[in-house]
Amino acid sequence: MRRRLLAVSASLVLVPALATVPASPTAALPTVAAVAPTTVEKAPAPRYDATIRWTKHGIPHVTAKDFASLGYGSGYAAAESSICTLMDTVVTGRGLRSRWYGAQGRYDDYVTMNGSNLQVDTLVGDLHNRRVVEKLLAGPSGPQTETRQMVKGYVAGVNRWLRTQRVTDPGCRGAGFLKPDVTTLDLYYGVYLANLLASTGVFVKEIADADPPSLTDPGLPQLPLRASQVDRDALLKALGKDPESPFGSNATAIGGAETTTGKGMLLGNPHFPWRGRYHFTQQHLTIPGRYDVAGASLIGSPAVNIGWNKDVAWSHTVSTAYRFTPYEYKLLGSPTTYLTDRGPRQLERRAVTVKVKRPGGGVGTVQEEVYRTDEGYVVDSPATLMPWSPASVWAIRDANAEHLRTIDTFLQMGKATSVRDLLRRQDRAGGMPWVNTTAADRHGDAMYADHSVVPNVPNAMKERCLTPVGRVVDQLAGLPGLDGTFASSSCAWGTDADAQRPGMFGPRNLPVTVRRDWVMNANDSYWLPNPAERLEGFATIIGCERCERTMRTRMVSQYVIDQLRGRRKESPASLASHQHGNRVRAAEVASAGGDLDEVCDATGETEACAVLKAWDRRSDRTSVGTHLFEEFISRAPADTMWQVPFDAADPLSTPRDLAETNIQVVAAMRGAINAVRNQGVAFDAPWGRLQVAGDRGAPPIPLGGGLGDAAGNANALASRLPVANRGRFRPITYGSSHIQSIAYTASGLSARTILTYGQSENPRSRFATDQTRLFSNEKWVRFAWTDRQIRQQLIRVQRLRG
């Protein structure tokens, strides 16, 4: 009877006419039964139901009952912080950049993909014509159920924001594409293009503009080449691995044997663009009792990409492995007829119609074309020694073009209970596109692994299949150029029994180590994760072994080595302090024995040399002389500046001993001093007056940190196409981004984070530069992880149903 009364009481909310029912239970029941309409139904439950608790710095903590609703809150929060970049990513994934921005406008993701809007749309348009993503969604290499639910909720959340909020960001306010019509397919195409960052994305221009050789454009002949005839740095730049503009990160994991807590700790610092597609936002995602993970996500990713849960924390660094292989095909009389071991075949010529914005208004179309072999897109790329010539044509097979498992991978990693479980989940999903993983757990294990998506090209097969030009590319850049004649037989990618899908290396053929002391990576190859361990015997397409480390790698390692001297250990505070140590390793090494001062004295520049001599060998805001050294090291001859060469038996201490009498080294110092003088910059200017924030709308906030690989600064910052404060010596738009220092303790965990450019990309938001100012002052955000911490930092609560 009591349960029946409760049911009637609930119905009264829906049927006000029944509010006068007598209070007596025995009298009420028959009366209600007599008058209640038989058509009354319970209101349908909302499809999505998420709560966002917004804490200091605009960080969203999304709680929901299922993955669809979790995605709903995540998508809404992403739109709140980054609607312009998010919708620009949608426009790019639709192949409509020329429609909205004009065909000749430029697209630059500030990492590898760079071309005109027309070139980008040509490639993306053909992906749509081939229904690449649709086919992956329907096949075994597509996302799993939870991912599909989360993506569906995410786009619904983005559309909810677009329907209910007004865009105030001047970067896109009033744009015609700001409509609540984002689909799951839009998001998947965006993720798919991100997968191609280190492969097909490098060759956008070379794919879109590939044409058969002609009398006016005959192509370069494939002359016999030797490695000594090729500019290696230019080749690496054309392959998306520019030595002067590296794409990288740092990550250090400390095991319980070397921590004061006896548990794992992690310091991660991805070096990413401060704007554009590869911009991070922070979030905390919770399904009570089922899923709880926090960290940072790239724009358009519902899942946390770099982060932690109660058991394990992880970060990523860009891997040295290649995601593709070029195949060279011999041509038979016609520039579109190529030879295979199955006989002659014709290149597939594919027409692409691109919508373009007309100069006077309106929209027109242009016809473009691309070419393919069975393995992939044809490239006309003389800069990588792969032109379309009368003798041969090149095409690339891309391992990351053959799956759509990236969101699955990150979503599953968020459930991990240890570093080993993290890697098992990563391997099962098979979608880690182009990064290493460094992790630590509460059990005290530290792990480094490069279990990313790598073409299955063992060394034996490589040696058998290299073409003459392909061998040169392999010698100089580690990328094997294979014989396309046998691309579907003896030179086809292999398949490992433990691989998630055919064509990629399985876990047993990829490098990993789990230790109790510590591991690190700073974008050098897998070979040296710890001074006491060498990972060797892997395929060269993954990376080099017994090869020189950058000064940044040496600095990241040195912080830990120095901290652990004298039986000391890493504490949560000491590990976090490495981020803002701002030591410059190349300067420390060059200064040994007074060599750096001797080089400067040899120039006769007494004023500048007095500043350099007094310099603290750091890149703090208050450091004086940093700019002189960075200008010097950028000019110094890498091959001759050290007297003791690299030694694989002593990789973290060589090369060393600056060649103080080398005339080229002295000339580099003289050139550095002149460069500073010619720019009108004082020799004794504090570094923070010269290096400032340079992203969109940023005031000139002074920043510590500096040049990464060459100078050996772990807090790596760079100026690439600045949009603010361009009159300053170095306005920063790239480098240290979502930094996290996570320490597991007896009572749980401590989470220090900083998002260097702020949570919101809208310069009108109060969350656009607040974290940049903290970063400038070498401070951290104490990330609210527990409910109590969230309540303490709470700004507002938002319930979203839809």
- Let me know if 532 is exposed, middle or buried by CB neighbors in 10 A (0-12, 13-18, 19+): exposed
Three-state secondary structure of 436-482: EEEEEECCCCEEEECCCCCECCCHHHHHHHECHHHHHHHHHHCCCCE
Structure tokens at 594: 């007074």
Sequence-distant (6+) residues with CB within 8 A of 601 are 609
DSSP letter string, 772-785: HHHHHTT--EE---
DSSP letter string, 558-619: HHHHHHTGGG--B-HHHHHHGGGT-B-HHHHHHHGGGHHHHHHHTTT-HHHHHHHHH--SB-
Structure tokens at 105: 């406008």
Nearest partner of 480 among 402, 392, 397, judged by Cα: 397
- Do residues 780 and 752 make contact, with C-beta atoms less than 8 angstroms apart? yes
Q: What angle do CA 703, 706, 707 make, to 5 degrees?
A: 160
Q: Is residue 488 flagged as an active site residue?
A: no
Nearest partner of 336 among 393, 408, 258, judged by Cα: 393
Gyration radius of the chain over CA positions:
29
- The catalytically annotated residue of 82, 249, 737, 741 is 249
Q: What angle do CA 371, 376, 382 make, to 5 degrees?
A: 70
- Let me know if 359 is exposed, middle or buried by CB neighbors in 10 A (0-12, 13-18, 19+): exposed
Whether the bond into 655 is cis, omega within 30 of 0: yes
Alpha carbon dihedral 171, 174, 176, 181, in 10-degree steps, equals: 90
Question: Any idea which residues carry the catalytic annotation?
Answer: 249
